[in-house]
Structure 1
Amino acid sequence: MKLFGSSGTRGVVGESLIPEFVLRVAKAAGTVWNVDRVAIARDTRTTGEMFV
């Protein structure tokens, strides 16, 4: 399964998309991006709560 696409990070919650993976992606982005602020978004599915 492709994890990164033009519309964001994709995956099956609890399988490929787990809190530890999201944390690793966030840490990597924070290391690479040279910005002062970022926007974090989620959809309305109840499983999204574990990632914000």
Structure 2
Amino acid sequence: MENQRTYKHWTFNELKVLIELKKKGLKYREIAIKLERSPLSVEKRYRKLINN
């Protein structure tokens, strides 16, 4: 039996929205709702973006 990944790849547009909303001061939870992702997923992706 194979384990199926439930990971949804990030699109360029989603990354752009994430950065814009974070700059406006929204919290990860608020951004997660708009992007239909978990707050942890949003936070991890944002931290990865700003550290690169």
Question: Shorter-chain TM-score: which interval?
Answer: 0.3 to 0.5
Bigger fraction of residues in helix: 2
Bigger fraction of residues in strand: 1
> TM-score, normalising length from structure 1?
0.36
